[in-house]
Amino acid sequence: MDIKKDNPMYENRPRYAGVLLHITSLPGPYGIGDLGNEAKQFADFLSNAGVGLWQVLPLGPIGYGNSPYAARSSYAGNELFISPDKLVLEGLIDETDIIKLKNAINNKKQEGNINRVDYHLVETHKLPLLKKAAFNFINKLSTNTNDSRSFNDFCRREAYWLDDYAIFQVLCDEYYDARWHTIWDKGICKRDKNALKKLQSEKSEKILVWKVLQYFFECQWLDFKSYVNNKGIKIIGDIPIFAATDSSDTWSHIDIFKTDKNGNFTFKSGVPPDYFSVTGQLWGNPVYNWKRLKSKGYSWWVDRIRRLLSQVDLFRIDHFRGFDEYWSIPQSHLTAEHGTWEKGPGADLFKALKKKLGKLPVLAEDLGFLTEGVKKLRDDLKFPGMKVCQFGFEDMKNGSLDARHLFLPHNYSYPWVAYTGTHDNNTTVGWYNSLNDNDKQVVALYLNCTGHNIQPKDISWAMIRAVLSSHAQYAIFPMQDLLCLGEEARFNTPSTCNSENWSWRLWELPDMELTKRFLSLVNLFSRGD
């Protein structure tokens, strides 16, 4: 007899624990986290801690500002994730190459903070080495039938995005910039067939290199995913609702975005003034021409989600409310304060996606002000929404707390996705330290932290415990909160171009003490296997 199964006193709905850590934040000797040994060792930590979910940010190649939410492609992988160690094992580069790369990274890093990614440094030294490996791979194709067959299969299968992306990256190198719509040759901008044909002939080897780099990413990512899944861990991916202005998506599919008769973008995306910014958030991404997308059966979105589903097990949709209504800002505006709400595709898009791809494993990022229309769309589609514990304390007044606030853990219901904070929040320690004394007392009282010597780290773990004990289906924590790190470890500050955004890294892999501590809580609240 299964007591839990047959006894109505037991909760039978599964609940999960997860950790949020982007690949770039993994430790390692090459200036940026990658898909090498440290990635698998972090999966070992999660497995040993009883954690079943690893959440990452969008996987695409970054452009200006280093934001994974402004990738140069909605389909490609970030080449900087490629592990040089694996390329050595495959004989594509040798140990002397590795030593030179380590020296270049480490000598520079001695001058600054080594737990930050210096993207310029990494791109300057790591990317050329990856390209060297790609050239070596190309030279071996004629003599290695298996590699040749596998690579050619990959190119055929992914041609619908790979061809344009590889050309786009070559042009970015040629022009030293990705602003294709303002500084590139007009024939190339307009995708003139003769201009493209000439370019493909003249730059064929460079184009091939970028395809090989994507093949390296594909092979390493699928190997990594297999390892993680075999540990009983599912990967939660992330997909931005909008495509970046400076991307192969806009260059190759300009017709699905709102433009004027000359092909110039007419509106851009963002959100009006909110919790994060008094002038709103001006993202700058071009907005979609949803009528045109619908006329094509939403094929671009179908391809985009299909590609993501080949890489992850579940995925978070960023800015879910934009599918109901999105904030459209005239292209000339410098802030997001003045725009208009425009209707999105609503359930129609998701019906088309379900018809082509089946049931979608979606987590909806539904933070911010929500209309009844957004709530209905989310609930009709049965997508879990998000709760952020830090936000539950945002309305404290005169040392009192609104216990009815929906972001406080005792109010979470199934099947919400609950966080202490997200990649856009301050760390819990940093957030707590920013409060005044009265508000600190309220937070401590709610989290049952008593005594005269309450430490910020006590608050971090108490909040983790509160979220784990809630009824939310998913309880996910930024790695910084497990480590009780302060504001210095914040990953991103929205509406800023802070050079430290997206750059925080682990010094080292978590130790056994942290593993045991987190495991005890995961087991206590039945969020393990």
Domain parsing of the chain, residue ranges:
385-529
Q: Measure the CA–CA gap between 284 and 214, rounded to whole angstroms.
A: 27
Coil, helix or strand at residue 508: coil
Rounded to 5 degrees, φ, ψ at 251 are: -65, -40
* Token pair for 150: 């596998």
Q: Going by DSSP bridges, is the β-strand pair 386-388/417-419 parallel, antiparallel, or unpaired?
A: parallel
Residues 6+ apart with CB under 8 A from 260: 266
Please choose, from the candidates 465, 430, 432, the residue with its C-alpha nearest in 3D space to the C-alpha of residue 447: 465
Q: Measure the CA–CA gap between 94 and 92, rounded to whole angstroms.
A: 7
Q: Is the pLDDT of residue 110 over 80?
A: no
Q: Is the pLDDT of residue 37 over 80?
A: yes
222-239 residue pLDDT tens: 999 999 999 999 999 999
Residue 265 per-residue DSSP state: B
- 424 noted as active-site residue: yes
Percent of the chain surpassing pLDDT 70: 96
- 402 noted as active-site residue: no
- Per the prediction, the chain carries an average pLDDT of 94
* Token pair for 50: 């009883």
**Burial class of residue 338 in the structure, from the number of CB atoms within 10 Å of its CB (0-12 exposed, 13-18 middle, 19+ buried):** exposed
Burial 253-284 (b: 16+ CB within 10 A, else e): bbebbbbeeeeebebbbbbbebebbeebbbbb
Q: Is the pLDDT of residue 137 over 50?
A: yes
DSSP 272-298: -S-SS-TT-EEEEEEPB-HHHHHHTTT
Catalytic one of 97, 174, 303, 318: 318
171-196 residue pLDDT tens: 999 998 878 988 888 999 999 999 99
**Burial class of residue 528 in the structure, from the number of CB atoms within 10 Å of its CB (0-12 exposed, 13-18 middle, 19+ buried):** middle
Contact predicate 199/164, CB 8 Å: no
413-428 residue pLDDT tens: 999 999 999 999 999 9
Phi/psi-derived region of residue 387, left when phi > 0, alpha when psi is between -120 and 50, beta in every other case = beta
428-456 residue pLDDT tens: 999 999 999 999 999 999 999 988 889 99
- 365 noted as active-site residue: yes
Q: Is the pLDDT of residue 381 over 80?
A: yes
Q: Is the pLDDT of residue 479 over 90?
A: yes
> Angle between the 347-357 and 372-381 helix axes, to the nearest 10 degrees?
20
10 Å Cβ neighbour count for 331? 15
Residues 6+ apart with CB under 8 A from 373: 324, 325
Sign of the alpha-carbon dihedral angle for 264, 266, 270, 274? positive
Provide mean pLDDT across the span 391-404: 88
Q: Is the peptide bond before 273 cis (omega within 30 degrees of 0)?
A: no
Catalytic one of 34, 118, 365, 458: 365
Catalytic one of 164, 424, 439, 458: 424
* Token pair for 84: 């040089």
Percent of the chain surpassing pLDDT 90: 84
Q: Is the pLDDT of residue 4 over 60?
A: no
Rounded to 5°, the CA angle 49-50-55 comes to 90
Q: Is the pLDDT of residue 3 over 70?
A: no
pTM of the model: 0.95
Q: Is the pLDDT of residue 529 over 80?
A: no
Q: Is the pLDDT of residue 111 over 80?
A: no
State the pLDDT at residue 401: 92
Residue type, 281: Q
DSSP 134-184: HHHHHHHGGG-HHHHHHHHHHHHHTHHHHHHHHHHHHHHHHHTS--HHHHS
Containing 250, the helix (H) or strand (E) segment is helix 248-252
Using alpha carbons, list the distances in angstroms from residue 44 to 409, 464, 476, 480, 486. 29, 21, 17, 18, 25
Please choose, from the candidates 222, 244, 429, the residue with its C-alpha nearest in 3D space to the C-alpha of residue 318: 244
Using alpha carbons, list the distances in angstroms from residue 360 to 219, 230, 315, 335. 24, 22, 9, 35
State the pLDDT at residue 114: 54
Q: Is the pLDDT of residue 1 over 50?
A: no
> Angle between the 204-230 and 37-48 helix axes, to the nearest 10 degrees?
20
Sign of the alpha-carbon dihedral angle for 236, 327, 418, 508? positive
Rounded to 5 degrees, φ, ψ at 256 are: -95, 5
254-273 residue pLDDT tens: 999 999 988 899 999 998 88
Please choose, from the candidates 271, 257, 366, 380, the residue with its C-alpha nearest in 3D space to the C-alpha of residue 319: 366
Rounded to 5 degrees, φ, ψ at 397 are: -135, 130
